[in-house]
């Protein structure tokens, strides 16, 4: 049996707190059979609407489908979208006590018009508030985070730059993680690297890494150089960079300098990369919480991402799907 499989057995014993931007993803499926007489645009005849959690909610969906107990901390508006998000969290079985309702805020909603004939998106409508939370809302969120942090094995921050992860909220997360001796893992979107100082592990994609250090993503050595700068700047325990078809790179500081481990992709087919980063960070956090070292956690996250890109839309992953994809023996990552 692959030694990585033993960590999968512990996933159902783990509790993870996700702090991040909650969204509603809507998919409006229909037929396009004519052009509007009012303007040269296609008319979609709605057949089937679908709604699911997006953003940090997709991270929660993946954690839940992997068997973990999940807790959500975030903010929604006092509107129909916010109510739908809370209902979907309830259906998921997530603890939403730390999700704050702000009557002055508009919940984030992404509505996609989807063609059944072509199986693809033809239009997207976004509705959101992206200003930073502050005052009483920020205070209540921080209090909720501090309360929930007592009972979790890891805290995961999912940043979509919708105003939830303010510097003060992030520092409250990092302080709580240190106090309770659990890892704080961040999927960053902001180019302001300083706001993430205090995190144990950052998990950006290559483009996000380049933005964090103000580098150009080209040349032979840019990735290692950028990783070195970010690890040193933020005093990180580890940095995991997702690279799409090129897999992942793990960087860990040590006495001999920065150690780099390349984890090649295991995707057999790529249908849709939407949400693959959410799947990867969910699997990585769960593996780390289950006692895996960073290299083993990165390998499991890579297998999870390799499965989910073969599905349509923002899909989630199960332990069985990861286990079925694991080879009989562990992969030897190139260092």
CATH number at residue 296: 3.40.1190.20
Q: Tell whether 199 is covered by a domain.
A: yes
265 pLDDT band (50/70/90 cuts)?
confident
Q: Is 278 a catalytic residue?
A: yes
pLDDT of residue 1: 72
The share of the chain scoring above pLDDT 70, in percent, equals 93
Percent share of the chain, pLDDT over 90? 84
15 assigned to some structural domain: yes
Domain limits for position 174: 5-23+54-108+129-325
Q: What is the rounded distance in angstroms from the CA atom of residue 242 to the CA atom of residue 272?
A: 16
Quick check: is 116 in a domain? no
Q: Please check the confidence at residue 333 and state whether its pLDDT lies above 50.
A: no
Phi, psi of 309, rounded to the nearest 5 degrees: -70, -10
Dump pLDDT digits (tens) for 213-263.
999 988 789 999 999 999 999 999 999 999 988 899 999 999 999 999 999
Kindly state whether residue 159 falls inside one of the protein's structural domains.
yes
3-state helix, strand, coil in the chain (%, to 5): 35, 30, 35
Q: Is residue 46 part of a domain?
A: no
Asked whether residue 42 is domain-assigned, the answer is: no
Whether 114 is in a domain gets the answer no
Q: What is the pLDDT of residue 312?
A: 63
Q: Which of 21, 102, 159, 278 is flagged as catalytic?
A: 278
Domain count, the chain: 1
Sign of CA dihedral 272, 273, 275, 280: positive
Q: How far is CA 291 from the centre of its chain?
A: 20
Identify whether 117 is part of a domain: no
| pLDDT of the residue at 288 | 97
Query: If pLDDT is split at 50, 70 and 90, which confidence band does 316 have?
Result: confident
Q: Per-residue pLDDT for 315 more than 70?
A: no
**Is pLDDT of 330 > 60?**
no
Do the strands 154-158 and 184-187 form a parallel or antiparallel pair, or are they unpaired? parallel
């Amino acid at each position: 049996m692959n030694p990585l499989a033993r960590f999968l057995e512990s996933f159902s014993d783990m509790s993870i707190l996700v702090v991040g931007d909650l969204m509603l993803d809507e998919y409006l499926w229909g037929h396009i059979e004519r052009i509007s007489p009012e303007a040269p645009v296609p008319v979609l005849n709605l057949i089937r609407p679908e709604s699911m959690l997006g953003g940090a909610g997709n991270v929660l969906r993946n954690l839940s489908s992997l068997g973990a107990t999940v807790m959500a901390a975030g903010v929604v508006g006092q509107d129909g979208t916010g109510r739908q998000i809370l209902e979907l969290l309830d259906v998921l079985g997530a603890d939403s006590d730390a999700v704050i309702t702000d009557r002055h805020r508009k919940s984030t909603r992404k509505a996609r018009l989807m063609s059944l004939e072509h199986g693809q998106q033809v239009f997207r409508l976004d509705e959101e508030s992206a200003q930073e939370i502050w005052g009483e809302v920020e205070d209540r969120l921080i209090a909720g985070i501090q309360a929930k942090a007592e009972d979790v094995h890891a805290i995961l921050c999912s940043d979509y730059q919708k105003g939830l992860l303010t510097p003060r909220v992030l520092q409250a997360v990092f302080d709580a993680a240190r106090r309770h001796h659990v890892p704080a893992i961040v999927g960053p979107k902001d180019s302001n690297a300083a706001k993430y100082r205090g995190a144990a592990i950052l998990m950006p994609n290559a483009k996000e890494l380049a933005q964090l250090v103000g580098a150009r993503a080209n040349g032979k050595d840019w990735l290692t150089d950028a990783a070195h700068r970010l690890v040193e700047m933020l005093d990180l325990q580890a940095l995991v960079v997702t690279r799409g078809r090129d897999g992942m790179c793990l960087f860990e500081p040590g006495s001999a300098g920065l150690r780099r481990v390349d984890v090649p992709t295991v995707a057999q087919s790529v249908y849709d990369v939407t949400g693959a980063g959410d799947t990867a960070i969910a699997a990585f956090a769960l593996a780390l919480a289950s006692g895996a070292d960073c290299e083993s956690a990165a390998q499991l996250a890579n297998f999870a991402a390799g499965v989910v890109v073969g599905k349509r839309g923002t899909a989630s992953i199960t332990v069985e799907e990861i286990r079925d994809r694991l080879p009989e023996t562990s992969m030897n990552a190139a260092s």
